[in-house]
A and B are shown apart, each in its own frame.
Chain A
């Protein structure tokens, strides 16, 4: 029996996954493609015809397009600095990781406390004499401020996860490679771009995919800071499912998020592909 044993041991987990993930997932797929028991693409056409769809779609994509690269650069910079530290490394990692322990809704609320009419930002600006009365930053007239606040909250909340993955990845690169590059004439920047980054590709894949998936699912932070003023895909899914009670269109939204996630994950995998034999 020893050959079957590993499979037997994995069976409960596999069954659990099948029953509680793939089954409901299948249901959502079916739901998005049926209406009143008939197979149809009507859910998708009605979804795209709605005036909020393209706003939600592009808001989500733009948020991801701004937040993820900024986070990547910040995480790489922070990881490089942390990597060089001789003492206090783990202490600093813990501090950077604090936002990870906070739910996205809580993160949104924290940033709301900063930006709202009676918030910290207004108090500070008032105290400095920059403004003479509290401003409404997050009103529907100034969408871009909400957008910016969401970006800030997202960056604050989720940069650490990328950094932790990148720090771990950098730790796996033997320091001889960097020294060899140094001896053979590479400057600090060239060592980073020609040695560290390429050798970091597997970790970058993990970090980016994880972060892109999170970015397309952005929801609670947006709701906390802007209510429904700034529509995003996940928010629309929620609206259609619970407010408008149309499960078919909610399912179609979910499929759009899934499609985006899969497409961008494939792009990342492709771009950061490491050929066989070229791994550490």
Chain B
């Protein structure tokens, strides 16, 4: 049982605040992905959980135990580093065995665990090699095997796939998902790649500028962004935003079209590019660029002078300069408060 609770954790480097008061609970055996652009504080948060960095304030609890004053080795964690950190002076076997030897496990148990995890990661034929004789993908496997061999309550991974080429990344992603689901550990996985996040996560914590903006299931994060940032960061292409004028009584005018919206206040209209379809009545879009993507076509247009993108069925024949009328799917329309940038329910 290793529930992780992060309470009011902040981290300041001198005058610079890398993390602002983060609160997050990760359930036992959950696969939590920390997703955000480079520099938003993902690594810092992970290192605080690992104990490699001391928080400026707040508490970290793992499995019901407060750990923020404990060294990493007393936290029941294992970690996969971004650059793997496979020890160059040890063979693959000794790398995987490193933590087990530190824990003074009997030799037979060390051998059993190394053998099992090496088989799991398909590196049993590499056990005698040094890391200098391995490819990037193989080193990655060693790093994961070394973490799994500890049979830890918690595995922390910092962009473990970011140094692999695209094809290998896809393969490893699927493999990691299977292996980690089986290992029954709580996993925190850092990435800046939203596709990776979507495909792996039970829940995603979207981070921005040292804050956790939203922590929810992938479909929720995608369908119901809690903040404008989430909509603009997740999705490829991301959400479209258009200004809206209040007409009173929950009616809003967007680019000359009327919609039902929030009861009062100010609001911004948002719609995902794939939630649009050509129709008799709709938003008037002036097509600028047309990019065929196989099954779909990505149209970059202008609506009311704002850039606006739509992903349409590829059987529509569209050319630049054309005027399209694009109808949003009504229950996919989202509204954001331009003041707070938060979603309006």
Interfacial residues, chain A to chain B (CB-CB below 8 A): 174, 176-177, 179-187, 190, 194-195, 198-199, 201, 274-280
Contacts and interface: CB of A to CB of B under 8 A. Distances in A.
B133 to A, nearest CB: 4
B85 A179 contact: yes
A184 B110 CA distance: 14
B98 to A, nearest CB: 5
Interface in B56-83: 71-73, 77-79, 81, 83
B88 interface: yes
Most buried by B among A177, A184, A195, A279: A184
B103 A185 contact: yes
B52 A279 contact: no
Interface string B80-116: 0101010111100000001100110000000000000
Interface residues of B, number: 27
B88 A279 contact: yes
Contacts of B130: 275-278
Contacts of A278: 88-90, 130-132
B102 A176 contact: no
Interface of B: 50-52, 71-73, 77-79, 81, 83, 85, 87-90, 98-99, 102-103, 129-133, 146, 150
A3 B32 CA distance: 57
Contact of A190 (B72, B87, B102, B150): B102
Nearest to B71: A182
A183 B83 contact: no
A193 to B, nearest CB: 12
Given A174-B83, A176-B85, A199-B89, A183 B132 contact: no
A137 B226 CA distance: 83
Given A277-B129, A277-B132, A180 B85 contact: yes
A177 B87 contact: yes
A174 B99 CA distance: 19
A183 B88 contact: no
Nearest to A180: B85
Contact of B81 (A176, A190, A275): A176
Given A184-B102, A185-B99, A195-B87, A179 B81 contact: yes
Given A176-B81, A277-B130, A183 B72 contact: yes
B188 to A, nearest CB: 13
B71 to A, nearest CB: 7
Nearest to A198: B89
A182 B73 contact: yes
B97 to A, nearest CB: 10
10 contacts: A176-B85, A177-B85, A179-B85, A181-B87, A184-B102, A185-B102, A186-B73, A276-B130, A277-B129, A277-B130
Most interface-central of B50, B73, B79, B150 (chain A CB within 10 A): B73
A185 B73 contact: yes
B50 A183 contact: yes
A86 to B, nearest CB: 11
A183 B89 contact: no
Contacts of A198: 89
Contact of A180 (B71, B81, B103, B129): B81
B133 A277 contact: yes
A176 B87 CA distance: 10
Contacts of A179: 52, 81, 85
A194 B98 CA distance: 10
A174 B132 CA distance: 15
Contacts of B81: 176, 179-180
Contact of A176 (B51, B71, B83, B98): B83
B98 A181 contact: yes
A195 B98 CA distance: 11
